[in-house]
Structures are given as structure tokens and as C-alpha cells.
Structure 1
Amino acid sequence: MADSSQPFDLITIGRTGVDLSPLPSGVPLGDVQKFGKFPGGSAAGVSVAAARLGRSAAVITHAVDASFAIRAARILWITGTGLGEEPSRSATLAALKARGKAGTTVLHLDRKPALAHDTARKDPEDARQCHAEALRHATVAVGDLDACETVTGIGEARACADALLAAGVELAVVKQGTKGVLAVHRDGTTAEVPPVPIEAVNGLGADDAFGGALCHGLLSGWELERIIRYADAAGALVASRPADSSTMPTPEEVEGLLNGAPS
């Protein structure tokens, strides 16, 4: 946590929760005898990931008068699921307006079709309009290709990234699974990073590790390709581990994977 007189490096707004993971990993669900309980939720996971990398981070999970902290934070991270229904939609949009594009504002396009409040499942046009409003206030958009297509209506990665830039952001990051990650900046800088080869154990938390590491790289002022490679490696590390937020990687672990050391 940061000193109360200092702005946070990162504030996330969104959900927290508890993830139940089968123990041991790699066992068919029908044969699982017990589950491990781990802190979860996208907003919480991104904050934990950034904190593990040495950043001061905080999470806002319900409507509070935090406009000063939101404006002062070096990065504000919001989630697409927060736009799903009221009252979180109004609270999220109010936070974006209070932010006023101060610093870096990241919109995570984290569509969750299995959740009851997935707006795109209920009303795709409403989802597009709501995200369009949010994108006008954001400086970075990040999400997998499916979520980005839901927002833009475009299924090809580069065209989708261009559409996100046209919607108002300065940096668009499109994750393409086995095809790697594409990042395009408004200044014309582009990074295309192949996936890190790992044996996936648990998909929970990989997106959050990517997000926390993305924020760390942006705060560090690195060039775009280094940021995306670092974030991709952080996500891969968590995907190779049985838990999520409790196994977010340290800087040494990320650098070790990038340099070929065992994880």
C-alpha cells in the first residue's frame, strides 16, 4: 500500500471474489477430492499482480467518494464487466469522468459470457454503446480478440486494434491466444509478440497477471515490445501454476522466464 499522502501507482475498480481450484491440478473434475480456496476477481487480481512487481496498488469494489484518489493514481484500471449492469455501470462511468484522462486509464475488455450480467449476451448493441462511451475516457484498451470483437464488431486483430484507437484510446492491446499478442499505439508503434511456450495448468489469473505486468511496464516507461513481452510472460507463469492471485510472479521470476531460466 502507498503512504496515504502519496498517490497510488495503480487503482483498480471492479470485482473481487474467491476462486476454487481443484487439488491436485491435472485431475479430471469427477475425480477431484478437494479444492483450494484462493482470492480472486479481476480487479483484485490485477492489483495483486502489480503489487508483486513492486507497485503500490489499491482496489475499489463499491461506490465511494474516491474521486481525488482516482484522479491522482498514476494508472486507473476498470473492467468491462463493471459496465454490465447497474449500479456498477453508472459508478464506473462516473469514475472515468472524474478521472478526466489524467494519467493512464486502462479499460479491460473482459467479457464473461457465463456471468448473468454479461451485457453483450443480453443486448449486444447496448454493450457496444456503453463501451464506446467508456473508450472515450480511456487511454488504453486491452482484451482478448473475442471481447474486442464484441466491442468493435471486427474479428481481425489489426483492424480491431485500429477501431479501438479510432474510438479514443492511445494504445490497443489485442490478445490472440495461440497467435500471441498484438499491440498498436496511436503514434504508429506496433508490437507483435508470440506466446510464451508453457504447459497450462490453470487459466484463472493469467489475464490478471498480464494486466498487472502491463501496468508495471507502462509505469516503467519501457518501449512497447518490452512491455508486451513482459506482460505475456507474467500471464504464462500464472497459467502454469495451480492457483492464481496467490502465485502472481515476482520481477525475478518474469525476467527468468524471459531469459530462459526454469520457472
Structure 2
Amino acid sequence: MKDNKKYDVITFGRSSIDLYSQNIGSPFEEIKGFDAFVGGSPLNIAVGCARLGLKSALLTGVGRDKVGDFILNFLKKENVETEYVATVDGARSSAVVLGIEPPNRFPLVYYRDNCADSQISIADVFRADISQFRCFELSGTALNMEPSRSAAFLAGEQAYNADVPVVLDLDFRADQWHDLLAYGVTIRSFLPYVKVAIGTEEEILAAVLKDPAMVTIKDQQISAPEIAGDIDEAIQTILNSGVEALVVKRGEKGSSIFLKDGQVIDVPGFPVDVLNVLGAGDAFAAGFIYGYLKGWDWAKCCRMGNACGGFVVTQPGCANFNPHLETIEKFIEEKGGF
């Protein structure tokens, strides 16, 4: 890919302070204390890309508050460009409270009423000038309400017209939508701008959902719903929208790439002991984008994504624990290479 751009990647959407349980394994009701990290899928991806050596920026919003200062301070230390982070008067920076009960229970609570990152505006997008980036990444929750929805569509349009590849993280968070069916309607409307879509099987099913009763959320695991449906049909629906590739994250099984020409590539994951799955998908996206911008083939891009995701599930948080390039290269080498 051409590298005559000012930056490598800009990510768009959520940013938050994440309060992770210090009492790993304890039920949420028994938590005694929390560690303060940062989070939000686009923020995690921007940090992950920066740690791998890409020039990354974040398009989001924070409140004029100390939580916003906390988020900005972290981003600056991580060399993520904050020029396009809007400080929104009258809104609050987001927060998330998370439990850690490995191997398969990770409840979380969002605090996003009047959140600043949903106030990203059309003016903010014009100010960012998407054409100066080699890649534009959008996380699906940015589409859940105005004004960030319109701003996201404008950014997608700008990227498409400037031949900047758009990577969409499907990022389904059921409790962030006024109607579960609205998620699919909105995502499908955005797909014509998208070159690569990334999601779990559940997120892919949510993108074509026809009945809210098909969604089940247990133990307040908002990031890991159970969704009924025909996954093959759902995958084909997304491919029919015109995306070049649909990447399916399969956890410990690795990932699969479905291409518009009908080709399917299965890429194995890395065996690890799981501590916390929250943030692993964002680490995957960062690793994938790194490989994509390096011009790697699909399988190698996903193998890099699998490695980054596999590394982060062994850690107690998200962005704060994304691997640096030398760390993940060693991880890959020790576990069999690409």
C-alpha cells in the first residue's frame, strides 16, 4: 500500500475509563476493589496499532472532566494522536465496570448516559480529514445514535471516495441500541463503504437479526450474547453487500476469512490459558490492521490478529495490556510461528 499519508490508521467511536475487578474469580457482587484502565473498542485498537509501530489516531469524544483527562493522558503516553479527540461541554466521559470470572463469565455494566463519545459530530469528521489516513476503522456502536451516527456515515463516505480502506468492527453491544433490530438495519446500511468487516459469529448473526427473541444475554455478559440463526446465511448476506473480506473471530479456534469470490481461509489460533477475554477482539483487530497495512496476505494478517488476541486474553485488562511488536513477535515464534 502507498505510504505517502500523514497517518496509518484512525479509529472512530467509543472511549472510556474501565474499572476492572481486582478480585479475579469473585462473583461481581463480592468485588472489593477495581483497577482503573482505559477502554472502548476504537481506543483499544488505536493503542494496539500504536504499540505495533503504526501511526494511529483516535476520533472520539470525552467530557470536560477528570475522566476525560485520564483518557487523554493515557493516549498521549501511548503516542496515539489526540488532535481529533473532541472535548464535549455538557457531556460526560464514558465508564465501564467489569467483572473477571474465568474461564467463561465476564459481566460488565456500561455508564453511557449523555456520553461524550456519542457526540462526535459532522464538524469533527471534517476536521479530521479522513483522506490523510491509510485506513479508517469504525466500531459498530458509533452508529447507535445521533450525532455520531451521521458523523460515522460521513467518515465512511469520505474514506470510500478517497480510496481509504474501511475496516468495520461489528462491535455489537445489545444494551446500547433502542431496538435490537436497529443494529442490523444500520450496520447493513454502512456496509457498502466497507472493505473488511470483522466480527464474532454472534455479531454476524446480529447484523441480520429478524427477531429480538433470538438474542439471549446471561450474567450481564453484554459483549458475549447468545444469538440463534443460520450463520452461513448471515455470512453470505454480509458478503453480498460488497465487502471484500469478512473476518470471523472464533476465539481459541482462531479465525476464518470469507472472501467475496467464495474462498474461505481458516487460520489457527494460539493455545493460551484464558484469564480475561474482554478486549481480545480489539487486540485481534489491531494485529490484523497492522498486517493489512504491511501488505500481508489474508492468512498472515489473521495469524497476527490471533496472536495479539491470544496474548491479551492472558492479561487482566484491554488497551493497557496490548503487546508491543517485539513482544508479539516473540510470542508468535515461541508458539510455532506464522
Instruction: Report the TM-score when normalising by structure 2.
Output: 0.69
8 A Cα contact 2:142 2:149, kept in partner: yes
**Mapped partners of 2:33, 2:156: distance in 1:** 41
Report 1:135-214 matches (<5 A).
135-153=191-209, 155-214=229-288
Could you tell which deviates more after superposition, 149-158 or 164-173? 149-158
One-letter code aligned to 1:34? G
- 2:300 matched to 1:242? no
Deviation at 1:27, TM superposition (A): 4.2
Partner of 1:85: 145
Q: Shift of the alpha carbon at 1:160? A: 3.5
Contact kept in structure 1, 2:252 and 2:270, CA below 8 Å: no
Is 1:118 the counterpart of 2:177? The answer is yes
- SS of the equivalent of 1:89 reads helix
Cα deviations by residue, 1:29-52 (Å, 9 ceiling, x for unpaired): 455332110011111110000000
**Which one has the largest radius of gyration?**
2
Report the more deviating stretch, 25-34 or 53-62.
25-34
Q: Structure 1: which 5+ runs fail to align?
A: none
| Cα distance, 1:208 vs structure 2 | 1.3
Secondary structure of residue in 2 paired with 1:66: helix
Shift, 1:261, TM fit: 5.6
**Which deviates the most, 64-73 or 135-144?**
64-73
Alpha carbons of structure 1 residues 250 and 68: separation in structure 2 relative to 1, 3 Å: closer
Q: How many residues align?
A: 253
* 1:105 equivalent among 166, 169, 181: 166
Q: 1:67 deviation in Å?
A: 6.0
Alpha-carbon deviation of 1:200?
A: 1.4
Residue 77 of structure 1: how far off its partner (Å): 0.4
Taking the aligned partners of 2:129 and 2:7, their CA distance within structure 1 comes to 8
TM-score by length of 1: 0.87
Query: Which amino acid in 2 is paired with 1:137?
Result: Y
Shift in CA distance, 151/252, structure 1 to aligned 2, threshold 3 Å: same
Structure 2 residue ranges without an equivalent (≥5): 61-119, 210-227
Contact 1:195 1:232 (8 Å CA) reproduced = yes
